Chains A and B, each alone.
Chain A
Amino acid sequence: MLWNTLLLALREIKRNVMRSFLTVLGIVIGVASVITMVTLGNGATQQVTTQIASLGSNLLMVTPGRRMGPGSAGSSPSFKVEDGEAIAREITSAALVVPVASRSTSAIFGNQNWSTTVTGTTNAFLELRSMSLHSGRSFSDSEARAGAAVCVIGQTVREKLFGSQDPIGSRIRLGALSFQVIGLLEAKGQSTMGQDQDDTVLLPLRTFQRRISGNQDVGMIQVSIREGQPTEKAQRDIRLLMRERRRLAVSEEDNFNVMDTKEITRMLTGTTQVLTGLLGAVAAVSLLVGGIGIMNIMLVSVTERTREIGTRLAIGALEREVLMQFLVEAVVLSSSGGLFGILLGLGASFGLKNLLQVPFVFNPGIAIIAFLFSAAVGVLFGYFPALKAARLDPIEALRHE
């Protein structure tokens, strides 16, 4: 019985290949966009998670501002080098304390020009980020102290400015000033939020403050906690120390943040998840529109096939058999559209993975949900037209022109 109904429905779909295709196009696009959004979203989330996890669970980031995020830092005073020194001195569980200040600047060598991120920091930055030197050396103590015009460059900067030449010893210009390249970093690849970690120029912090930013500010202090020491305690201690140094009254809120990697992960993945959810919802609306499209075509199809329905009824088709035929037809249409959409969506995510630099993470759960949902759309929007067909009076239907 069910097999026969399926056969009749498939025959009907085959009879109208073009129309069937157009009918399900809405579902195909809807499902494909849901799958693409969610797959890319999951990929982005996973990327953020793994990259932050690769920083190590013992990392704390101290940033000015009430909440970490763009634009909020300006409202509260920045950190100074002394704040980092205080942390290194007071917090016994701190292994490395690295002040970091960054700015986007163009780097020039000869007639080559490349816009990159210049970071003022200390040698400990390399250790903290597990970066190593490919050639040359890092800053000497005297260079760091004196704020000498020296820099260490990443592989991307080398490639853009020097091509295959050896950069060590050459001088590049950052902003208005000239700096000697003393070291070249090993390639590190993509980092958190998809930025190229090799696209960087490192300067001694003092050099950065004097020659690039022109102030004594430190954008962020990164602290790594010794193995086996509780990060929660260190976090609390740093917070109290900073409150004290910033002379915050008991009633005042923190105007800085001490975050561990778990919190950073939560914050960043939270953003991508909200975004994924929103895009998914938009895509789900298009699925609904696709469903209405199916209902529309099924209704047209019932009208168009009135005589055929009359013939079937005369031949001895039961009301429920006609109902089932149209319902199965709608479900076969919508679920095959769903299947096609899933494949299209996965294909699109796979194709976009390089363009958007987001890993491809196949989520079978969402594929199954999308498929079931598209089938449900078929049942929901196919039922009314099917009922209309089944309830036709055979005599009227046979007379229909």
Chain B
Amino acid sequence: MTASTETSRTPLIELQGVTKVYGEGQAAMQALAGIDLRIEQGDFVAIMGHSGSGKSTCLNILGCLDSPTSGSYRFRGVEVSQLTRDQRAKLRRFYLGFVFQGYNLLKRTTAIENVELPLIYRGVPTRERHQIARRTLASVGLEGWESHSPSELSGGQQQRVAIARAIIAGPSVLMADEPTGNLDTARSEEIMDLLCRLNREDGITIVMVTHEQDMAHYAKRIVHFKDGRIESDQQNGRAN
């Protein structure tokens, strides 16, 4: 009885024996050597590891930016490795949000225009788009900064704009790649608090790559990568 409910409930993310090999022949480099990972809706996972451990490659695959060499990646039960490039783009558009270490905001473009970008690709009408963008910016604490361009904002503020852009379309999962990598401790903690709040209040699943222990401790679950494998996977006692 419990077994059947267990199997019928599809996890949000399920990796099975995922490998990733870059290059061919002699020059081949195995970035992932068989990853099994399940992430449920509402989780907050921190992926840790040294550089070259495969954590970024794993995030790229989870973010549907890259396909595994072998193994299976099911997102909401859909086999991602079999999707076309356009189908994966659509999947990102409707289910995923991205936050990067370098913010990746469009230069010379106001905060509100940056934030509403995903809505443009979704074809949301102008007025509605502005309203939503304004509201989202306010929710990350940037009310009144709508018409500032990235160069007029601090690093912390830029990352907030980036987070607003990532969540504006209401994604299931937020993929964060070293979101605090360019920020000082105080700013980093603010960003982590914001991510925790999004996870707690809006139920957004968060997968975050970081190499900072302090930041990882904000997550509910910490996965350690080493040499393309998962070294440890544990619930974080300190988590909120």
Contact = CB atoms under 8 A, between A and B. Distances in A.
Partners in one complex: yes
Interface of A: 1, 4, 7-8, 11, 15-16, 307-308, 310-321, 394-395, 398
A391 to B, nearest CB: 10
B108 A314 contact: no
Contact of B66 (A307, A308, A310, A395): A395
A311 B117 CA distance: 10
Contacts of A307: 102, 104
Given A4-B120, A8-B120, A394-B65, A316 B104 contact: no
Contacts of A313: 65, 89
Contacts of A308: 104, 106-107
A7 B85 CA distance: 24
Contacts of B49: none
A4 B66 CA distance: 27
Nearest to B149: A15
Given A395-B60, A395-B65, A316 B106 contact: no
Interface of B: 60, 63, 65-66, 85-86, 89-94, 96, 98, 100, 102, 104, 106-109, 113, 117-118, 120-121, 123, 165
Contacts of A11: 109, 113
B120 A319 contact: no
Contacts of A1: 123
Contacts of B106: 15, 308, 311
A316 B109 contact: no
A77 to B, nearest CB: 78
A395 B67 CA distance: 11
A289 to B, nearest CB: 28
Nearest to A314: B98
A4 B65 contact: no
Nearest to A8: B120
Contacts of A314: 63, 65, 92, 98
20 contacts: A4-B120, A4-B121, A7-B120, A15-B108, A310-B104, A311-B100, A313-B89, A314-B63, A314-B92, A315-B93, A316-B89, A316-B90, A316-B92, A316-B118, A318-B86, A319-B85, A320-B86, A395-B60, A395-B65, A398-B104
Nearest to B103: A311
B163 to A, nearest CB: 13
Nearest to A1: B123
Contacts of B100: 311, 398
A16 B107 CA distance: 10
Contacts of A319: 85-86, 89
Contacts, number: 65
A316 B65 contact: no
Contacts of B165: 315
Given A15-B109, A311-B106, A395-B60, A316 B120 contact: no
B89 A317 contact: yes
B108 A316 contact: no
Contacts of B92: 314-316
A395 B109 CA distance: 23
A312 B117 contact: yes
A394 B100 CA distance: 13
A395 B121 CA distance: 19
Contact of A321 (B60, B109, B121): B121
Contacts of B123: 1, 4
A8 B113 CA distance: 10
A16 B108 contact: yes
Contacts of B63: 314
Contacts of B96: 316
A320 B84 CA distance: 13
B127 to A, nearest CB: 13
B108 A315 contact: no
B150 to A, nearest CB: 12
A330 B142 CA distance: 34
Nearest to B122: A316
A15 B85 CA distance: 29
Contacts of B66: 395
A313 B90 CA distance: 10
A308 B60 CA distance: 17
B218 to A, nearest CB: 23
Given A4-B123, A11-B109, 15 more contacts: A4-B121, A15-B107, A311-B104, A312-B121, A314-B98, A315-B92, A315-B118, A316-B93, A317-B89, A317-B93, A319-B85, A319-B86, A320-B86, A395-B60, A395-B66
Contacts of A7: 120
Q: Considering residues B63, B96, B106, which has the most beta carbons from chain A within 10 angstroms of its beta carbon?
A: B106
Q: Which 6 A-B pairs have CB atoms at the shortest separation, nearest pair first?
A: A316-B93, A316-B92, A311-B104, A15-B108, A314-B98, A394-B65
A381 B118 CA distance: 28
A76 B98 CA distance: 89
Contacts of B113: 11
A318 B120 CA distance: 12
A54 B109 CA distance: 63
A280 B123 CA distance: 44
B52 to A, nearest CB: 15
Given A395-B60, A395-B65, A315 B117 contact: yes
B60 A316 contact: no
A302 to B, nearest CB: 15
A8 B131 CA distance: 18
A374 B180 CA distance: 47
A1 B107 CA distance: 23
B81 to A, nearest CB: 16
Contacts of B120: 4, 7-8
A19 to B, nearest CB: 11
